[in-house]
Amino acid sequence: MYTFIINPNARSGLGGRVWEQLEPKLKESSVPYRAFFTKYQRHATAMTRKLTSDGQEHTIIVLGGDGTINEVIGGIKNLSLVTVGYIPIGSSNDFARAFALPRDPQKALAAILSPASYSYMNVGLLFYKNRTKRFAVSAGLGFDAAICHQAVISRMKVILNRLGLGKLTYAAIAFHRLIHLRPASMQVTLDGKKTLSFSKVFFTVAMNHPYEGGGFRFCPEADPCDGLLNVMVISGISRIKALLLLPFAFKGWHTRFHGVYTYTCKEVQIEGDIALPVHTDGEPVFLQHSIRACLEPEKLRVITG
């Protein structure tokens, strides 16, 4: 039985339209399925939690963007009992990028119904204050999170999505945030042993996947299945240089420049001198002074071919 969780509102309403095209194919193929639609923020988490609390195996197919994938993974009771398939129709689609999932929803559905390969993916876990939150792609503190915070309330995202230019949203907001951002000082502790101090930090991000923010390959070496987090810090450079680095980051070439620091670890603690925006997979977690990220002990099976 396939359980579809659909965000009809993803990419400013594309989710619902894509589902209308896909459902007849499912009916034709006579595969058993049921479909649930998200009605509000974090609804996907609540639905997944209820669904997976029976202790049984489930195959959950997510139709939406990275935010919906984040919410579904956040609700899975026992990661090792669930297989996830993904039909990416969001504006950033960084989760799909790492696994090279088909962008065409019909092809994505066909691959899900006849899976050729699976990946066993690590799932990130963020600690802040006395709370925890899972992430699939990345969790960051500073500039990247400020962009996500603004994207949530941005009219620009709606307009660019309508024009089919959703990918530009994050780049345009990044430009705007960079002008207004005050770089902070941060302390980054890797695996509880090595503490590094940075000043004038634009942001620090812990990445499970190589891409975030709609195709920025911030940690080109990151592998979502290798049991490690990749950490990137951008620090001690001018706003102009940070801005000029962004196009290089689409290819992962920014890491060759001074001011970009990358590390691998199993756990990272990031502390800012001021409270800064935080995100998990592009979903805002409000302002925090300190976050800690690691990986869940269990892996999640993802249909990737």
Which stretches of the chain bind ligand ATP, using CB under 6 A?
Answer: 7-11, 38-43, 64-68, 71, 90-93, 282-283
| 167 Cβ neighbours under 8 A, 6+ residues apart | 91, 92, 214, 215
Residue whose CB is less far from ligand ATP, 203 or 263: 203
- Rounded to a whole number of angstroms, the minimum distance from the CB of residue 186 to ligand ATP is 25
Q: How far is the CB of 260 from ligand ATP (least distance, A)?
A: 24
Shortest Cβ 23–ligand ATP spacing (Å) = 17
Pairing of strands 124-128, 131-135: antiparallel
Cβ closest to ligand ATP, residue 272 vs residue 282? 282
- Report the residue number, 67 or 277, with the smaller CB distance to ligand ATP: 67
The minimum distance between CB 288 and ligand ATP, in angstroms, equals 18
Residue 43 or 239 with smaller CB distance to ligand ATP: 43
Among 198, 183, 178, 182, smallest CA distance to 243 is for: 178
Minimum Å gap between C-beta 241 and ligand ATP is 27
CB nearer to ligand ATP: pick between 18 and 249: 18
Q: Per residue, what are the HEC states of the chain?
A: CEEEEECCCHHHHHHHHHHHHHHHHHHHHCCCEEEEECCCCCHHHHHHHHHHCCCCCEEEEEEECHHHHHHHHHHCCCHHHEEEEEEECCCCCHHHHHCCCCCCHHHHHHHHHCCCCEEEECCEEEEECCEEEEECCEEEEEHHHHHHHHHHHCHHHHHHHHCCCCCHHHHHHHHHHHHHCCCEEEEEEECCCEEEEEEEEEEEEEECCCCECCCECCCCCCCCCCCCEEEEEEECCCHHHHHHHHHHHCCCHHHHCCCEEEEEECEEEEEEEEEEEEEECCEEEEEEEEEEEEECCCCEEEECC
Quick one: 11 or 301, whose CB is closer to ligand ATP? 11
* Residues counted in the chain: 305
Smallest gap from residue 267 Cβ to ligand ATP (A): 26
Q: How far is the CB of 154 from ligand ATP (least distance, A)?
A: 10
CA distance 101 to 233: 28
User: What's the min distance (Å) between Cβ of 185 and ligand ATP?
Assistant: 30
Would you say 145 or 268 has its CB closer to ligand ATP? Answer: 145
Nearer to ligand ATP, 144 or 283 (CB): 283
